[in-house]
Amino acid sequence: KQALSTQALGRVVDFSDELSSTNDRAKELARQGAIHGLTVLACRQQAGRGRLQRQWESPAGGLWMSVVLRPNLSLADASKITLAASVAIVDTLQELFELPIGIKWPNDLVHKGQKLAGILGEVVGEWNTVQTLILGMGVNVNFPREQLNNTFPATTLQEILGFDIDLNLLAAKILENLEKELICLEEKKFDELKSKWTKRAIGLGEGVRILRGEDVIEGTFKGISIDGALILETGNKEITFSAGEVKLRSKKGYF
Ligand code: BTN
């Protein structure tokens, strides 16, 4: 904790041995008036949640963290916070361990084709009145990958690095980088965020498939729009897809 150099994020911490989901706990605290930056941490989650109604396995040794954010942003700009979080985690792993982490749109963090971390942003109540967002971040850290029986290939920092790391230090560094990105967002430096995200994007310029319900749409992954939607080129037109509605698959088979 003494290593934390943020203004707001992680200044108040709600720590539990076990929770159903840190996002749910953060929502509850937000409804009770939690301040901007309050951070919920749990050693284990019994019902960790991923995007698109998926479950997120959360054994002891992982970093399961949710931050209550009351940022000075419009709803449209607040949707960029999950991009900011993926950049913050990527930068942290680069700085601490020189690990090259890619981002699979919209914000899966991937090492050599295996998922290492994910982000789940949720709005609390009506954005117009409450303006509160819960930013959940899950990083597979100090446990072997066998403890995950995911449908997708996954890895952990223990597998990659060969040793265990200090979860508090990792959390502190992520919160510091996240706070920097949030300040950039509030200053409307969107291009900077977009270019950091794009530098790490997996599959850019390649042929991909977009799954929307039963539909499969094929095209070339051209990039992201300023609010993080995926831009797909098919034939001679461009279509954008927002993260809430579709899944991305590569034709090369790495995700
Ligand atoms: C995804 O990749 O689908 C998002 C995974 C998000 C997992 C984190 S762990 C902390 C927070 N609490 C949850 O229940 N989910 C997020």
CATH number, domain of 152, equals 3.30.930.10
Q: In angstroms, what is the span from residue 120 Cα to ligand 1's centroid?
A: 5
Query: Would residue 109 count as lying in a domain?
Result: yes
d(CA 20, CA 26): 11
Q: Indicate whether 231 and 120 sit together in one domain.
A: no
Domain end (from 158, 179, 200): 200
Query: Would residue 53 count as lying in a domain?
Result: yes
Nearest CA to ligand 1 atom 15: 49
Q: Indicate whether 73 and 120 sit together in one domain.
A: yes
Q: Indicate whether 106 and 133 sit together in one domain.
A: yes
pLDDT of 93 above 60: yes
Query: Would residue 83 count as lying in a domain?
Result: yes
Q: Indicate whether 128 and 216 sit together in one domain.
A: no
| Residue 115, marked binder | yes
d(CA 137, CA 19): 14
Is the ipTM value over 0.85, yes or no?
yes
| Better-scored residue on pLDDT, 51 or 93 | 93
Q: Is 27 in the pocket of ligand 1 (CB under 6 A)?
A: no
Q: In the chain, how many domains are there?
A: 2
d(CA 45, CA 239): 37
Q: Is 105 in the pocket of ligand 1 (CB under 6 A)?
A: no
28 sits in the region (left: phi over 0; alpha: psi -120 to 50; else beta) called alpha
CA 104 vs CA 49, 152, 249, 251: distances in Å: 18, 13, 10, 14
Q: Indicate whether 32 and 93 sit together in one domain.
A: yes
| Residue 51, marked binder | yes
Q: Indicate whether 125 and 242 sit together in one domain.
A: no
d(CA 80, CA 51): 16
Query: Would residue 180 count as lying in a domain?
Result: yes
Query: Would residue 90 count as lying in a domain?
Result: yes
Q: Indicate whether 171 and 239 sit together in one domain.
A: no
pLDDT digits (tens, 9 = 90+) for 178-222: 999 999 999 999 999 999 999 999 999 999 999 998 999 999 999
| pLDDT for the residue 78 | 86
pLDDT digits (tens, 9 = 90+) for 13-60: 999 999 999 999 999 999 999 999 999 999 999 999 999 889 999 999
* Atom number in ligand 1 closest to CA 138: 9
* Atom number in ligand 1 closest to CA 48: 14
| pLDDT for the residue 201 | 95
| pLDDT for the residue 88 | 98
* Atom number in ligand 1 closest to CA 47: 14
Q: In angstroms, what is the span from residue 51 Cα to ligand 1's centroid?
A: 7
Query: Would residue 255 count as lying in a domain?
Result: no
Q: In angstroms, what is the span from residue 236 Cα to ligand 1's centroid?
A: 37
pLDDT digits (tens, 9 = 90+) for 215-254: 999 999 999 998 889 999 999 999 999 887 788 998 876 6
| Residue 158, marked binder | no
Boundaries of domain holding 239: 207-250
CA torsion sign for 137, 143, 145, 149 is negative
| Residue 207, marked binder | no
Residue 244: which CATH number?
2.30.30.100
Q: Indicate whether 193 and 212 sit together in one domain.
A: no
Q: How confident is the model at residue 128 (pLDDT cuts 50, 70, 90)?
A: low
d(CA 185, CA 196): 13
Q: Indicate whether 174 and 213 sit together in one domain.
A: no
| Better-scored residue on pLDDT, 109 or 151 | 109
| pLDDT for the residue 253 | 66
Q: Indicate whether 38 and 130 sit together in one domain.
A: yes
Q: In angstroms, what is the span from residue 100 Cα to ligand 1's centroid?
A: 21
